[in-house]
Structure 1
């Protein structure tokens, strides 16, 4: 049996991202008692959304609006989905579509939405001992790092970033390993610090890198698509609710209220306006004049599969 959600949060040492808003919330005062005031929403999400500070900016208006608490558990995408799979999450915000699709196909998640995007960048020492600066191909850059035996620091944690990294190695025809390759099992912020200390290279999401840029000596050497780099380094984020038919303790109503908020014009403005040192970290993706039905279901889904 999965451990209780509150025990899980206590064991992890994770607190709420903001204090409980008062019961005289906007919703409660203007449209009657919605039955959620005072409740807690458990959000499992990636370290990048936490390390950049975006979650605080997103969660505070929601908590004030509904009079609730959002408990945010920052993990790699794989761990965040596993936490939800074990019944310890209400809503999941992650960035590895293949893992999200597997989670949904197995019946653990519902009502996925495209949320936002940034991109990945390859960062390393400013003197660039492997000589990858300015390369237009992520696979060529990875292969060059491997050929040079230059230090590469990997998340190694089944996160969205790690999933992307492994896909690039595979496309480059390289099986990483040996003294030059270090798997850490750490979050993005910690990995950037380790790579900085060891004069190593790493794959980072642009948002976390920009939020820590002033504290480390690493430079962007290969850009992602936001700055004209390879599309292979794109980094879309999705949000989905735990399936109440599979997880009866999931707070589905509050999860869907949160999904509605972060994909609304208000939530998307918070994402668009969030910056570090004057630089935008994430780009809203939920509002579109041409909505894509595929965002709601696993890629490749067809109605025939529902009968299998």
Structure 2
């Protein structure tokens, strides 16, 4: 169990006991979230705005998508915010979650050194770019932790028909701590990696790396909300989670926060609204 997970659970005041979970706080909504949106700052902004309007508190723990879903499988949270379709579908199919609810998206980019020894700058085909990196065996850093980012990277390698291995393909030993530490490490090593654009924009001014490959449909990064199944865990705050999800997916509320987040600081949004309600309203 990594330190972020331990600290997060302490902050949520949760105590896991064998097969059950004792929750020290019953008047809050507890969420396990993939780390990227937390590092970007949007999770805290959404929570604060919702609490101000509704009076309902939301507290979160950050973990890679795979770990976030494991936390939810213990009944320790009321909902998850994650981004790995295959893992999400398995979570719901196994009865731990009730449904996958579209929420927002951004995209991944492939970053690397300005000198670009792999020669991928300007490519718009991510799988072709990864093939060139593998052919030239230039250093590539992977989170390697079954997070949503790692799953997305793995899908790209699979589409390229490759199983990367060797000294040029390095799994970052602290990858489970999130995209920001992974990106900083990649920068220190002068390597390539696949990272979400929100993390890139939040750290860009501190890095030597450059965005080399972007705007491929295969790089889109969809983030979902999944309520934890109250039929499996009786202590789940079903009503609170439902209220928060309604607010997050409302075109006039949470989706507006998503639309505008990052514009002032970065000159462009870090995420894009994607709820069913937003999509429907946008067509009208």
Taking structure 1 as the reference length, what is the TM-score of the superposition? 0.80
Return the index of the structure with the highest Cα Rg. Answer: 1
- Out of 269, 277, 280, the position equivalent to 2:256 is 269
Structure 2: how far apart are the matches of 1:201 and 1:176?
13
Tell me which residue corresponds to 1:242.
228
Q: Does 1:279 align with 2:268?
A: yes
Q: Does 1:214 align with 2:205?
A: yes
CA positional deviation for 1:13: 5.9
User: Please, what is the CA RMSD of the aligned residues?
Assistant: 2.0
Tell me which residue corresponds to 1:21.
none
Contact between 1:92 and 1:241, CA under 8 Å: does it hold in 2? yes
Tell me which residue corresponds to 1:85.
73
Q: Which runs of 5+ in 1 are unaligned?
A: 1-7, 17-36, 224-228, 292-308
Q: Which runs of 5+ in 2 are unaligned?
A: 13-24
Compared with structure 1, are the counterparts of its residues 14 and 273 closer, same or farther at alpha carbon in structure 2 (3 Å cutoff)?
farther
Tell me which residue corresponds to 1:193.
184
Compared with structure 1, are the counterparts of its residues 244 and 80 closer, same or farther at alpha carbon in structure 2 (3 Å cutoff)?
same
Tell me which residue corresponds to 1:306.
none
The alignment covers a number of residue pairs equal to 259
- Out of 220, 230, 246, the position equivalent to 1:260 is 246
Q: Does 1:160 align with 2:148?
A: yes
Tell me which residue corresponds to 1:125.
113
CA positional deviation for 1:12: 4.1
Deviations 1:235-266 (A, max 9, x none): 11110100000111211111111101110121
CA positional deviation for 1:86: 1.3
CA positional deviation for 1:14: 5.5
Structure 1: how far apart are the matches of 2:5 and 2:123?
43
Tell me which residue corresponds to 2:19.
none
Structure 1: how far apart are the matches of 2:146 and 2:85?
13
Structure 2: how far apart are the matches of 1:284 and 1:14?
31
Structure 2: how far apart are the matches of 1:9 and 1:99?
19
CA positional deviation for 1:15: 3.3
Contact between 1:14 and 1:73, CA under 8 Å: does it hold in 2? no
CA positional deviation for 1:212: 1.1
Contact between 1:109 and 1:241, CA under 8 Å: does it hold in 2? yes
CA positional deviation for 1:206: 0.9
What SS does structure 2 have at the residue aligned with 1:212? helix
What SS does structure 1 have at the residue aligned with 2:279? coil
Deviations 1:23-76 (A, max 9, x none): xxxxxxxxxxxxxx9812111011111110111111101122232332211111
Taking structure 2 as the reference length, what is the TM-score of the superposition? 0.86
